[in-house]
Amino acid sequence: MKRYGKKINAEQTWDALQAQVESNRLLHQKSRPGIPLCIWGEHGIGKTDLVKTFARQQHFKLVMIALAQFEEMGDLLGMPSIENQQTVLKKPAWAPEGFGPGILLIDDFNRADLRILRGIMPLLQDGALLSWALPPDWHIVLTANPDHGDYQVTTLDEAIVTRMLHVDMQFEISAWLRWAEKQKIPQDLLDFVVFFPELLGKGRSTARTLSQFFFSLQDRRVLETNTAQLEILAYGYLDAETALAFMQYWNTKRWRLPNSDTILESTSFTEELTPQLSYLLNQETMRVDVLQVVWERLLFRIKTLDGQLSGKNLKNLKTFLQMENLPKDIRKAWVLELLSLDKPGLEQSFREPIWAQLLL
């Protein structure tokens, strides 16, 4: 199986893209071409969307092409034209124009014909082809699927591979959940992924199709009252096993995770949260991975709070960390993570003798 680069999650891929842009700008200052970044990964994990979102948030221009649509070299170089009684090549209409910052996104590039891949090699190495060159502050980013037999891709030789920096983007539940929460996808939908992470990446059930499914449920009436329509959407976007699991999940109300704001702001922690937490902390049904997601969400919420935690926040946090049946090693790890945060009042609040005993 051929794929290249360090295995990293989506957030780390974003950082790698940012770093490569900054590195290329330094090369441009020395009159050297930038080095393309190639993002490898399975289908549907968000490679293309990540680059498009990066361009939008960073206010970069974006040109996106799919080399698989190119059938001849004229698609790359442009078509001949007669100017001043001379035959010249006019650059193609898709070629980037104007000063950057900008990204030329070559999507699924290893699905192209080998002849096209050979033709694009000068662009990858020098940022230019025979008839045109990338304008200043433009950067090349490519996406690719692994060459392991499951995809109809062209095997690359080392001459092409060595013209790029490579990263291998992996789907990671926690990173995807953080992205999904920013997209305002309801938590009761995201909790399905937390309970059944093993279903993601199977056939049609990918981060992409799951996002499409959840976005299609903007009308909550479908979720609450229209079971037939909900099934049509579930089986339309996802494979049969995942769709069936979702329908069972949705109809079983015990699978609901406590919201971070509820944990911090509840006026009656025990009454409001015990029903949700009792299932998670049951010795027979305990899912440590699910508990960890609840904690990661809570920790992220604490990090993003402005100022220090209120007295109610601290009280609820202590109640949460003293939950019965919570494994001691998990409690200790969570408290240490919490104390490592730069939040005023946290360390002082946990100086009580009971915490020293709980952490022993």
Question: Class of 6-170 per CATH?
Answer: alpha beta
pLDDT of residue 96: 94
Is the pLDDT at 56 greater than 80, yes or no?
yes
**CA–CA separation, 120 and 67 (whole Å):** 9
* Phi, psi (rounded to 5 degrees) for 201: 85, 10
CA distance 145 to 131: 29
Structural contact between residues 138 and 20, judged by C-beta atoms closer than 8 angstroms: no
Give the tens place of pLDDT for each residue, 223-249: 888 889 999 999 999 999 999 999 988
d(CA 335, CA 172): 24
d(Cα 89, Cα 83) in Å, to the nearest integer? 10
Is residue 153 within 8 Å of 2, Cβ to Cβ?
no
Residues 280/286, Cβ–Cβ less than 8 Å: yes
* Confidence tier at 255 by pLDDT (50, 70, 90): low
| Predicted TM-score of the model (pTM) | 0.75
pLDDT of res. 99: 94
Kindly report, residue by residue over 164-178, the tens digit of the pLDDT: 999 999 988 888 888
Residue 16 — very low, low, confident or very high, per pLDDT cuts 50/70/90?
A: very high
Q: At CB < 8 A and 24+ separation, what contacts does 345-353 make?
A: 345/308, 345/309, 345/314, 346/308, 346/309, 346/314, 349/314, 349/318, 350/318
Is 116 within 8 Å of 76 (Cβ atoms)?
Answer: yes
Residues 117-130: tens digit of each pLDDT: 999 999 999 999 98
Helix (H, G, I), strand (E, B) or coil at 147: strand
The two structure tokens encoding residue 81:
């034209």
Average pLDDT over residues 29-54: 94
Of residues 85 and 206, the one with the higher pLDDT is: 206
Arithmetic mean of pLDDT over the chain = 86
Inter-residue contact 314 to 345 (CB < 8 Å): yes
Give the residue ranges of DSSP H helices in 127-169.
158-161
User: Is 161's pLDDT higher than 70?
Assistant: yes
Query: Can you tell me the distance from the alpha carbon of 271 to that of 145, in angstroms, rounded to the nearest whole number?
Result: 49
Beta-bridged to residue 62, according to DSSP, are 103
Asked whether residue 76 carries a pLDDT value surpassing 90, the answer given is no
Tell me the mean pLDDT in the region 28-33.
94
Q: Average the pLDDT over each of 202-216, 236-250, 293-307 and give the range with the smallest value.
A: 293-307
Q: Is the pLDDT of residue 356 over 80?
A: no
Could you read off the pLDDT of 277-300 as tens digits, one per residue? 776 777 666 778 888 888 888 888
Reference 103, options 51, 180, 154, 153; nearest CA is 51
- The answer to whether 50 and 211 have CB atoms below 8 angstroms apart is no
Tokens 């549907």 appear where? 44
Whether 274 shows a pLDDT value over 70: the answer reads no
